[in-house]
Structure formats: structure tokens, C-alpha cells
Amino acid sequence: MASSSVFLHRPDLSRIAFACRTNQTVGKSGKGRVSFLSNRRRRLPVVLSMTTTENSGGEAVKSGLPGNGISIMVNGCSGKMGKAVIKAADAAGVNIVPTSFGSAGESGQTVEVCGKEITVYGSTEREKVLSSVFEKHPELIVVDYTIPSAINDNAELYSKVGVPFVMGTTGGDRNKLYETVERAKIYAVISPQMGKQVVAFLAAMEIMAEQFPGAFSGYSLDVMESHQASKLDASGTAKAVISCFQDLGVSYDMDQIQLIRDPKQQIEMVGVPEEHVSGHAFHLYHLTSPDETVSFEFQHNVCGRSIYAEGTVDAVLFLAKKIRLKADQRIYNMIDVLREGNMR
């Protein structure tokens, strides 16, 4: 007879600190930000892990996983984020549909992830392919990690077919994206930041900015953020945090963000582990009082893509639950996922 054990656990939350700071010129900026606030009460979860002995059947183990009964189609499966999401979803017991959309150059190619061969389709016959997959897998949820230029066309397609989706791709025309999905009245989770803990930090910053406006009046702000060399623009997360500091009374120009993109600087100055130079997000916000006798630092360092992949899978599980409960067909975000209180 199979036996099992249940134990409480929590992840290793060790962090890596920036090695140095730099001074910057500060200015004024009046840019707004996306709000994460709500009056709903949060519930904090206790996470349980279950282990089974070797004589347990594979099907029994699979049926006990949170993603059992859910299928996903990951568009952009050949990219690093797409592959990371597939691995996280597979570990959660989610069924991976062997179909994906990619660029015209990728059409007809096969991508192997977690021992699964996924066929990539280009722009032709996308509606026919998606409709066929959705008919075969009525519990299907699409995950989008494609490219900014494809966001709006993809959203139009998902809305037309009526398939629920999680949009992790950033960029594109965001106003048009929301208008398209709201008009279609389908289930969707759309968020420019899928890292649950980072989203929680942003929400806390917004609460502080709303309740204590001007608390840091007169303080100067230095911001340094490091990402892989392929990321040419400033982090949207950094801009959101800076907007909160502006509401707290800090004068700062978004153009003053120090972007670190040189791998040598990232390793030697910032302290990014060499193996994560190609995929990381290190942010440091340093505040100094007018007389320079008081300073505050806020930082969040992310190595790899697992935090975003795990957040994406939680968004999939959240959306599947909403569908099963026949909740409102609307656009949800990662704050909604956080509030649900049942993240793994």
C-alpha cells in the first residue's frame, strides 16, 4: 500500500546585494502608474507539500498535482520564458498541448521541452489551428510569451476564438489590448510583471504612497537596475517603483535611471552571478535625506526566470478555478492572483 507524508516548507529566500552605489542628478517627473490597490482583504496561505513512496502509482501522483485537468498551449515556446513556463507547468501536472504559435521563420519547426515535442505554427491558419486545439481541449488556457509586435494580433485571435489566456508578453498597444479583451468578455490574466513577490512589493509601495504622501519630501533618489544585454529599455517595474517615490515627495526624472547592460560591469560591480548574466533583474533604490544624515535602500534581485514562470503557472491555476466556478468573465491581474491566497 502506498503511504504518504505531509510537511510544511518554505523556499530559500536568500538575496544577493549590489556591490556599490552611484550618485545621479535628480529632476522632476509627473508620470503616472498602474494601480494595484484594492480594499479586499488578503489571506496568507500555508503551503503543504506531499511526498509518496515509490510503490505509488504514477496516475495517483499526477491526480494529486494542482494542474491536473488543465491544458495549456504556450505560444513562444522556443523562447527562454516559454520553455521556463512549460517546465514549471509540467511540474505542476498541467497538460502541455504539443502546439504553439511562433514567427514565420519558425513555422513547421519542432521544439522539445520536458521530453515533449511541440510543433510551431506561423501566421497562416492560426485561427483554424487554435479552434481545433480548443475543441479538443475545452479546458485549454493559452499562455503568451511571444514578442511585443504580436501582442495585439494574438489578443484579437484569442478573443475571436473565445479561448482564455494569460498574457506575460510586455509592450504592444496596451490600451488596444485591454479594449479588445474587454469587448470580447473572455477570461484573461494580463500583467506586465508575473513575479508574485515583485508584484506584492509594488502593491506595498503603492499603499505606502497613497497613505503617506510626501513622507520622503526633499530626499534625493538614486536608481540602478541591471538586466541582460538584450533588454534595451528601462524596466517597467523600476518606473512603477519610482512613481511611488514621486508620490512620496521625491523629485526624480525617469531618464536618470542608471541602466547596467555590460556583462563585465554586471559581474564585477553589481554582483550578478556569471551564470545568470543572460537572465536576471537586479534593482537598487537608494534614498538620501537633504542633510545626508539618513538613508534608505530598497532592492530586489532576481536570478533566472523561475520566479516569472512559477507566477505564470499560478495565474493559469487561478484562471482555471475562475472558469470552473463560472466567475465573471473579465480581465484579471497578478494582484487578483495574489489575493486568492492559494498560491503554491
pTM of the model: 0.75
Q: Choose the most confident range, by mean pLDDT, from 8-12, 57-61, 322-326.
A: 322-326
Please give the pLDDT value at position 6. 38
Pairing of strands 220-227, 188-190: unpaired
Look at the chain and count its residues: 344
Residue with C-alpha cell 504592444? 172
Which of 87, 116, 231, 321 does the annotation list as catalytic?
Answer: 231
CA distance 199 to 147: 22
Please give the pLDDT value at position 50. 35
For the chain, domains (ranges, CATH) are 71-194+306-340 (3.40.50.720), 196-304 (3.30.360.10)
* Phi/psi at 63 (5° precision): -65, -20
pLDDT tens by residue, 213-231: 999 999 999 999 999 998 8
Please give the pLDDT value at position 41. 43
Please give the pLDDT value at position 343. 61
DSSP string for residues in 232-271:
-SPPHHHHHHHHHHHHTT----GGG-EEE--HHHIIIII-
* Contact status, residue 107 vs residue 122, Cβ threshold 8 Å: yes
Check if 231 is active-site.
yes
* Contact status, residue 283 vs residue 300, Cβ threshold 8 Å: yes
- Residue among 295, 292, 257, 263 nearest 276 (CA): 263
- Residue among 335, 84, 319 nearest 186 (CA): 319
Instruction: Please determine, for residue 245, whether its predicted confidence score (pLDDT) is greater than 70.
Output: yes
Alpha helices in the chain (DSSP H): 58-63, 80-91, 126-136, 151-161, 174-184, 196-211, 236-247, 263-265, 306-324, 334-340
Please give the pLDDT value at position 123. 83
If pLDDT is split at 50, 70 and 90, which confidence band does 158 have?
very high
What is the CA angle 61-63-66, rounded to 5?
A: 100
Q: Rg for the chain (alpha carbons), in Å?
A: 22
Which of 83, 196, 227, 322 does the annotation list as catalytic?
Answer: 227
Q: Average the pLDDT over 136-140 and give the result.
A: 96
Round to the nearest angstrom and report the end-to-end CA distance of the chain.
28
DSSP string for residues in 62-113:
HHTSTTTT-EEEEETTTSHHHHHHHHHHHHTT-EE-SEEE--GGGTT-EEEE
Instruction: Please determine, for residue 4, whether its predicted confidence score (pLDDT) is greater than 50.
Output: no
Q: Average the pLDDT over 150-156 and give the result.
A: 96
* Contact status, residue 338 vs residue 44, Cβ threshold 8 Å: no
Q: What is the DSSP letter of 54?
A: T
Cα dihedral sign, 133-314-180-176:
negative
Task: Extract the C-alpha cell encoding 341.
Answer: 491566497
β-bridge partners, 75? 144
Q: Average the pLDDT over 168-194 and give the result.
A: 94
